[in-house]
Amino acid sequence: MSNTDPTPHRPRVAVIGYGSQGRAHALNPRDSGFAVTVGLRAGGPTSIKAMADGFSVSTPADAVAGAEVVAVLTPDMVQAELYTKVIEPNITQGACLLFAHGFNVHYGQITPRADLDVVLVAPKGPGALVRREFEIGRGVPAVYAVHQDRSGNAEKLALAYCAGIGGARQNAIRTTFKEETETDLFGEQAVLCGGATKLVQAGFETLVEAGYQPEVAYYECLHELKLIVDLFYEGGVTRMHEFISETAQYGALTRGSYVVDDNTRAQMRKVLAEIQDGTFARQWIAEYKSGNANYQALKQADLDHPIEVTGRKLRAAMPWLGDAPQTDAKASASAPKAVAGRAEPASA
């Protein structure tokens, strides 16, 4: 970890992209005193949104040309072409190229020009949370990395930027492009998105196949998962044990390893190996370039799963769900309370 105070110099920043992360990476540094330009295609919906937030929007090429730090906040799969066609021909010699995810640099899709500093600053939370925590005087923890240090000040620039978005209000952890990329992909695939989704669907299917009502299966395998995740988020496994019944604890301790066993761990190691050796990256890049037909089919199968049909019907009767910021669901931090042996979210 680093508690180093970042340099007081606030470099001119060009933010390329204005999605969830891009908006936070533009607004927070501006509020911290940085001169921020947003580079976007003219007339697009994100351009209109950025102008509504008070930014003078330039073309990406013009924004890049005047910046000391160029923050690339576009989706992974468009970054390589963006770098080749727009950033590299226009970025000032000796400037700093900044990423929020190391995918393209780590897997060789982008080879940054030799004269540039190249750094990574990755908040550990979605953009809406990064913005919200900044506005109330806190910050989302972040990791940072240095890939190229041509100026001798790349780490200071990364930390200054990290401070600008609020990440240095927590202890910023130094990492590498390799570690950030591989652990991020592994978490998404094995646990947070892939693993959790398949676990929930399999649990639902098991109960329905055994004759239980789909609605009850939905509540037990998906709806109540948020209650446990909130406890994990706030205080780890320790807090979960504090707020669930002894019956739930005993069942978890004695039966959890039925599901997550040595075979599961072997499969997780396989997932990690395919990330480490580039297999996943090559497959995803090839899929994107070929038009995403397989990706779209797999995604549609998820959206058509019976648990989604059941869930849409049940959620229609839960109007309070609309009160939560839906684009930021994983960042929920409401304090749960134990009710009848189960964790229940505190009322707002």
Does any domain span residue 44?
Answer: yes
Residue 253 shares a structural domain with residue 116: no
Please name the residues in contact with 315: beta carbons below 8 A apart, sequence gap of 6 or more.
321
Residue 241: active-site member: no
Residue 97 shares a structural domain with residue 157: yes
- Position 324 scores a pLDDT of 54
Residue 135, marked binder = no
pLDDT in tens, 221-275: 999 999 999 999 999 999 999 999 999 999 999 999 999 999 999 999 999 999 9
CA-to-CA separations, 8 to 5, 130, 189, in angstroms, rounded: 8, 22, 39
Mean pLDDT of the residues in the chain: 90
pLDDT in tens, 170-186: 779 999 999 999 999 99
- Position 330 scores a pLDDT of 37
Q: When comparing pLDDT for 105 and 340, which is higher?
A: 105
> What total number of domains does the chain contain?
2
Residue 199 shares a structural domain with residue 313: yes
Does any domain span residue 183?
Answer: no
Does any domain span residue 3?
Answer: no
Residue among 25, 101, 106, 147 flagged as catalytic: 101
| pLDDT over 70 (residue 335) | no
Which H/E stretch holds residue 236? helix 225-243
pLDDT in tens, 310-328: 999 999 999 988 765 444 4
Taking the C-alpha atoms of residue 316 and residue 181, their distance in angstroms, rounded to an integer, is 38
Residue 265, marked binder = no
Buried b (16+ CB within 10 A) or exposed e, 231-268: bebeeeeebbeebbeeebeeeeeeeeeeeeeeeeeeeb
| pLDDT over 50 (residue 7) | no
Residue 18 shares a structural domain with residue 81: yes
Residue 127, marked binder = yes
Does any domain span residue 279?
Answer: no
Residue 18, marked binder = yes
- Band (pLDDT 50/70/90 cuts) for residue 11 is confident
Taking the C-alpha atoms of residue 39 and residue 71, their distance in angstroms, rounded to an integer, is 10
- Band (pLDDT 50/70/90 cuts) for residue 150 is very high
Instruction: Quote the domain boundaries for residue 229.
Output: 192-260+292-321
Residue 19, marked binder = yes
Residue 52 shares a structural domain with residue 149: yes
- Position 286 scores a pLDDT of 98
Residue 141 shares a structural domain with residue 238: no
Q: When comparing pLDDT for 342 and 60, which is higher?
A: 60
CATH number at residue 156: 3.40.50.720
Residue 162 shares a structural domain with residue 129: yes
pLDDT in tens, 197-213: 999 999 999 999 999 99
Residue 21, marked binder = yes
